[in-house]
Every structure is written in C-alpha cells, then in structure tokens.
Chain A
C-alpha cells in the first residue's frame, strides 16, 4: 500500500539579494532585488507503507524542503503530493495526527519545564488516554534509557538526551509516517546506536513509514530499505539500497554527488 506519492513536486524560494555593507543594506531597503531558487525541482517518487527510506544529499540540496512539504509545513510551488491519502499542506488535523517529525536542530519540547509536562500536553493534543500515554512514555523512556531525565528541565539536558526525548515526543501518538531530519546529528556513537536500534524496532513493530535524512552513511546503510538521492533540488537516484550498492560502492557514489557542490 502506498504511503506517500509525489509527482513533479517542486518548491521555489524567493529571497532578497544584497551585498555586504551599510550602503547596499540601505539600497536593498528602498529598492530590493530578488533572487529565485528552485529548492526542489520536479521530484517524483513513491514510498510504501512500512518502508524506511533514506534521503541523502549535500547541504542545501533540498532534503529539508522536501521533508517539510511532506509534513505540510511548506506549500509546493508545483506538482502533487499525497501522503496517507491527504494533501499535506492542507494540514488536515486527521493527517497531522498520523505523522511525526523530528528535526535535529529544532525542538518541539518546552525547554523550561520537564519533558513529562510536554508529553502530557501532547497526550491531550492527540486525544490519547492519559493512563495509556503515561505507560507509553515509561516504556519509550526505558527503551531510550532516559527515564531519569523525564523529570529534569529540558534545557539542562545533554544534546543526546534531548534528542531521545524529542523522538519520544514525535512517536507518542504512534504516527503512521515518521519524518526524521538528521536525528543523529552531533551525537556520540552510543547515542546513535540507541536511536538506530529504536528506529528499526519501531518500524518493525508499528509498520510505520520512516523517511530519514542524514549525512551519516551508517544511519542510511543500517536502517534504510530504499534510497532517494537529491542533488541541487533534483532526484538523481531512487531505488533500493542493494541496487545502489551493487552499481558502485555506496559511500563513494554518494560522496561524489555531494562533492559536486
């Protein structure tokens, strides 16, 4: 069963162009010059329910833009995108209840209070039974080995602990599609292992479609069934990881695409 289907999907950004210095800042204020960038160009792909798909590309290749369109955060400029039967950018609440997203560098937890308080708020937002939500948090915290950190203000935690708590927040409502944007960024080897094991187990148990963007090739090779390689907004490869590896060494191929930048 198809989980996500994109056809000729594209997103263009309009940004103000200006040189350095005060005079050009003033000039730009009164007479702005604009430049257009196609962050994602005519991308077509399908993701089956229960697949783990790796999204790979250089910085600025368009990965996050693509993920944000799937999450409904960005409107596509052209093309169509259907996820779980919904048009994501319409941000239908029944769709939002079925997706989860983790962005490595952005937090959805309230930083000044313990994660427990955010989880209980999320349980209300997603209409979860409080007792079941509590039990689920306990279980997930045990899996991630962060049980003791649940009662500590989030801002006092280490990066790895925070990331694990972020993932718990994203899967609390058992989403059918989980979007992970660089979830292991800046983490040590042990923390990466814990997260990878969790992703594999979660996918196996819940049959969740997972889209994983990462610069860490071990994340991709250990977790993904399928691979999407994006370069300058265009999809340059889509297929299984095995096929890709057979054609050429996986690491070398991806590195050559990234180094084209």
Chain B
C-alpha cells in the first residue's frame, strides 16, 4: 500500500465523516463542556494552593486543554467497532480481497476519522499559546518536536492496541467489551484527566506495567515542559519496546486468526 493510497483512504474517511455533521457537532459540544467542567473542578482543587500533589497551578489550564486534546484524538476510534462487526458478519473480506496491508489501511481510516478533531485542537492550542497567556514552557520551540514525536508514538501504541482487539475478534466473538475497557482506561488512567501523581502509590505501580501512561502522561508532560530530557528518552525507549512487543503479538494473532477466519453467511 503506497503513500498515495494511504492519503486517499484518509480523504475518503474524512468525506464519509462529513456526511454526519451532527455527530461532529455533538462531539465538539461535549468536548467544550468537559473542558469547562474540568476547569471548574481544577479551580476548586487549587484554591489557595500553588502546588497540589507535585503539580503546579500555573500549568493547570494547559494540562486540561492538552489532556483533552489527547483524549479526543485517541479515545473511541469508531471504525474499530465497525471492523470487529465486519469480522463477525463477513464483510471484512473487502480488505482481504484487495492488495492492501490491512493494518496501514486501518491506520489511514483512523487518522481520517480524527482529522477534524486534530485540526480543531491544533487551532485551540495555538490560540492558547499565543493569545491566552499559556505558561512559557507550554509547546516551546525546544519541546515542540519531542511533543509531536511522543504524541505520534502514543497514537501508534493505541493503534496497535486497537488492532490487537480487532484481530482478537477472529477468536472471540464478544470483543466489544475490550474496546470499552481500553477507552475507559485511557480516559481515567492515562494521565490526561488527572495528573498521575495524584493517584494512590499502589495504582501508580500497577500502571507502570501497562502502556497507559505512555498514551497520555508522556506526551502531556512533554508538551507542558515538565519532563527532563533523560526521562523523555527513557519513556521513548519504553514506548519503542511496547510497540515492538505488540506488533509481534499482532502479527502472530493475525496469521493464526486468518486460518480460523470463517466468513460465515453469504
């Protein structure tokens, strides 16, 4: 699958999404409402205090804004549900009949379905940075590239997680619950809703053994300038390890799953 095809799949996804304008408007509205609600809670938490649980008040709004940006981009890749259903009812064959590499096709579809959010979020972040008094360390020239890199890698990790779930559907009929579990976990435990430093120590220890902090906490702290260069590199290494591990797993379950694939019904 070449770059031209990749681009065209993104384009078709965007065109399909534009057909459902009200879905997009409701999503935008719920995002703004979440932002307002979260800001109200944070104001209450930081009342009369400059630092809470090691997190500075000056970075609170930037945290909420960029945290929301990450959550909106990552959570609920609608086409994951769609592809699981396509495996169940046999329409998944449309990908298998064509000379394409399905994981890339899925990535392009996912980017396409999120491109509207990415554009909106980029605009909001730029307005915040240059017109609304963002903290100096937020998205500076020196942390812009690490932020984009960590954000891109976190999306790739999530893409691997969703791909795993899609291919698990070759074996397990009821796999929607796995997506819901992932989505809820990302929302609560990836460090975009609350700083991970606020969580109980035992939970932080458990989360260290999952890729969840890499999905939210890592790009977020990088964007806020709260991560040292050494810590960034350590996380990068860890993220690379998770990516390799998951893609080996994906490759195994895909090959075995295809042998089991029983495209029943017509």
In the complex, A261 has a CB within 8 A of chain B: no
Interchain residue pairs with CB less than 8 A apart (13): A68-B93, A72-B96, A73-B93, A73-B97, A75-B259, A75-B261, A96-B98, A99-B97, A106-B266, A108-B97, A113-B19, A117-B11, A125-B5
In the complex, A104 has a CB within 8 A of chain B: yes
In residues 86-117 of chain A, which contact B (Cβ within 8 Å)?
91, 93-94, 96-97, 99, 101, 103-108, 110, 112-113, 117
Contact in complex: A71, B97 (CB < 8 Å) = yes
Residue of B nearest to A179 (CB): B97
Specify which chain B residues have a CB less than 8 angstroms from the CB of A72 in the assembled complex: 96-97
Contact in complex: A74, B263 (CB < 8 Å) = yes
In residues 238-266 of chain B, which contact A (Cβ within 8 Å)?
258-259, 261-264, 266
Contact in complex: A73, B96 (CB < 8 Å) = yes
In the complex, A243 has a CB within 8 A of chain B: no
Bound CA span A71–B93, Å: 10
Contact in complex: B99, A96 (CB < 8 Å) = yes
With A97-B99, A124-B4 given, name 9 new contacts (CB 8 A). Answer: A14-B262, A73-B261, A73-B263, A74-B261, A75-B261, A99-B97, A118-B12, A124-B5, A124-B8
Q: CB within 8 A of A106: which of B91, B259, B262?
A: B91
Contact in complex: A103, B266 (CB < 8 Å) = yes
Q: Answer whether A125 and B266 are a contact pair too, CB < 8 Å, given A73-B96, A96-B97, A153-B19.
A: no
Query: Please, what's the 1-or-0 string for A113-143, where 1 marks a CB less than 8 Å from any CB in chain B?
Result: 1000110111011100000000000000000
Query: Please, what's the 1-or-0 string for B158-170, where 1 marks a CB less than 8 Å from any CB in chain A?
Result: 0000000000000
Bound CA span A186–B97, Å: 24
Contact in complex: A113, B266 (CB < 8 Å) = no
Smallest beta-carbon distance A145→chain B, Å: 25
Specify which chain B residues have a CB less than 8 angstroms from the CB of A117 in the assembled complex: 11-12, 15
**Size class of B's contact patch?**
20 to 34
Bound CA span A64–B90, Å: 12
In residues 1-43 of chain A, which contact B (Cβ within 8 Å)?
13-14
In the complex, B197 has a CB within 8 A of chain A: no
Contact in complex: B262, A13 (CB < 8 Å) = yes
Specify which chain B residues have a CB less than 8 angstroms from the CB of A118 in the assembled complex: 12
Contact in complex: B97, A64 (CB < 8 Å) = no
Query: Please, what's the 1-or-0 string for B87-125, where 1 marks a CB less than 8 Å from any CB in chain A?
Result: 000110110111110000000000000000000000000
Query: Please, what's the 1-or-0 string for A62-78, where 1 marks a CB less than 8 Å from any CB in chain B?
Result: 00100010011111000
Specify which chain A residues have a CB less than 8 angstroms from the CB of B12 in the assembled complex: 110, 113, 117-118, 121
Smallest beta-carbon distance A1→chain B, Å: 23
In the complex, B234 has a CB within 8 A of chain A: no
Specify which chain B residues have a CB less than 8 angstroms from the CB of A96 in the assembled complex: 97-99
Query: Please, what's the 1-or-0 string for B1-16, where 1 marks a CB less than 8 Å from any CB in chain A?
Result: 1101100110110011
Residue of A nearest to B3 (CB): A124
Smallest beta-carbon distance A166→chain B, Å: 11
Specify which chain B residues have a CB less than 8 angstroms from the CB of A112 in the assembled complex: 15-16, 19-20
Q: Answer whether A120 and B8 are a contact pair too, CB < 8 Å, given A75-B259, A108-B94, A125-B100.
A: yes
Specify which chain B residues have a CB less than 8 angstroms from the CB of A110 in the assembled complex: 12, 16
Residue of A nearest to B16 (CB): A112
Bound CA span A106–B20, Å: 23
Smallest beta-carbon distance A150→chain B, Å: 15
Bound CA span A55–B97, Å: 20
Bound CA span A25–B19, Å: 39
Q: Answer whether A125 and B99 are a contact pair too, CB < 8 Å, given A64-B266, A74-B262.
A: yes
Contact in complex: B99, A93 (CB < 8 Å) = yes
Bound CA span A110–B11, Å: 12
Residue of A nearest to B20 (CB): A112
Specify which chain B residues have a CB less than 8 angstroms from the CB of A103 in the assembled complex: 93, 266
Residue of A nearest to B14 (CB): A113
Query: Please, what's the 1-or-0 string for A134-160, where 1 marks a CB less than 8 Å from any CB in chain B?
Result: 000000000000000000010000000
Q: Answer whether A68 and B16 are a contact pair too, CB < 8 Å, given A121-B9, A124-B2.
A: no
Bound CA span A121–B12, Å: 8
Residue of B nearest to A170 (CB): B97
Residue of B nearest to A75 (CB): B259
Specify which chain A residues have a CB less than 8 angstroms from the CB of B9 in the assembled complex: 121
Residue of A nearest to B8 (CB): A121
Specify which chain B residues have a CB less than 8 angstroms from the CB of A94 in the assembled complex: 99
9 A-B pairs with the lowest CB-CB distances in the bound complex, closest first: A93-B99, A112-B16, A105-B266, A96-B99, A124-B5, A108-B94, A112-B19, A121-B8, A113-B15
